Amino acid sequence: MPELPEVEAVARTLRPLVERRRISCVHVLHAIATKPQSPSHLTRTAEGQRIQSVRRKGKYLWLQLELGIVTLHFKLDGQLIWFPSAKKMFDVANQEESGVHVDVAFELDKGVLGFADGRHFGRVYAYESEEACPAITQLGVDTISPDFTVSHFAELLASSRRPLKEFLLDQTRVAGIGNIYSCESLWHARLDPRRRTNSLEPVEARRLHKAIVSVLARALECCLHPPPDFRDPEWWFQGLEKILRVYDRGEKPCRRCGNPIKRIAQAGRSTYFCSHCQK
DNA sequence: CCTGCTACCTGATGGC
DNA sequence: TGCCATCAGGTAGCAG
């Protein structure tokens, strides 16, 4: 699960399930999920500890323990699955016929939290503190936090010469925006993804800021209605297509001006945009 | 420092 | 039907 709104919805759903619960046992079923850390580093850090809170910044989610943290990153396809017991988890996880692929399972005093990713891109890491996790410390401003202000955003834009699309994907500048919502935000702001960030007029920077805030807010609303149901291994976010205006619409008419949507490659990813009304 | 490219995995899809 | 190429909501690591 991918971008900030989805991860935020997961964080909110996860809190009542795990906060104040103690981790009795960690099962690393597929060691690739902890690479390059060792499975034993994770188990040593987490076992016996109480989960004090569930935190999120950008697309990173982490369990704040009494001593240390466990970070979860879902990359493209990772997800959480909730099991009522370890026995139930072992009954269905990683069985040929089940299709449920659990890489790491946290056995709590009540229930089991599974980190699942059939593609094995997702990662589960342990650190002694939040400050000890380089990926988190290097994140830029979280795009749904109060710190994501127009003036801060304008300063960031002015300090870079990269194309807008690539800038938005750089998690060390602003954290949480991925391929879909960067395309969507640029379409709403009527800005060409290839424009250099430091070429924006103040009014354009404000437009982009406003577009990002509203796109992410609408996506979060969509992700919360209905909220994720971790008990269903098949759960996934529904209805996101409905709110998308430009992503994955190559050759189809622009919903604003009717001209065909273009697909180009930027930073090795697909960018969808309307070259007629995004300037 | 900054930027661009590749690797990492698996599964779905579409053309031939 | 099978085979191959391409694509996927992300990021770490490395070379220049």
User: What parts of chain A have a pLDDT lower than 70?
Assistant: 1
Element (H, E) at A60: strand A60-65
Residue range A155-194, pLDDT digits in tens: 999 999 999 999 999 999 999 999 999 999 999 999 999 9
Amino acid found at A114: G
A177: nearest Cα among A135, A220, A235, A227 = A220
**Cβ of A134 less than 7 A from strand B:** no
Strand C, nucleotides < 7 Å from a protein CB: these are 7-13
CB A59 within 8 Å of CB A136:
no
pTM for this predicted structure: 0.97
| Minimum-distance nucleotide, CA of A75 to C1' | C10
Correct CATH for A4-137 of 3.30.930.10, 3.40.50.720, 3.20.190.10, 3.40.462.10 = 3.20.190.10
Q: How far apart are CA A26 and CA A201, in angstroms?
A: 52
Name the protein residue, with chain letter, whose CA is nearest the C1' of B4.
A267
| Minimum-distance nucleotide, CA of A118 to C1' | B10
Residue range A5-25, pLDDT digits in tens: 999 999 999 999 999 999 999
| Minimum-distance nucleotide, CA of A169 to C1' | C10
CB A42 within 8 Å of CB A67:
no
CB A245 within 8 Å of CB A31:
no
What percent of chain A stands above pLDDT 70? 100
Known catalytic residues of A are: 2-3, 59, 269
- Give A259's contacts (C-beta < 8 A, 6+ positions apart): A253, A274, A275, A276, A277
The reported pLDDT for the residue numbered A1 is: 65
Q: Do domains A4-137 and A141-273 have the same CATH topology?
A: no
Domain ranges of chain A: 4-137, 141-273
CB A261 within 8 Å of CB A246:
yes
What topology does CATH give the domain A141-273? Answer: Helicase, Ruva Protein; domain 3 (1.10.8)
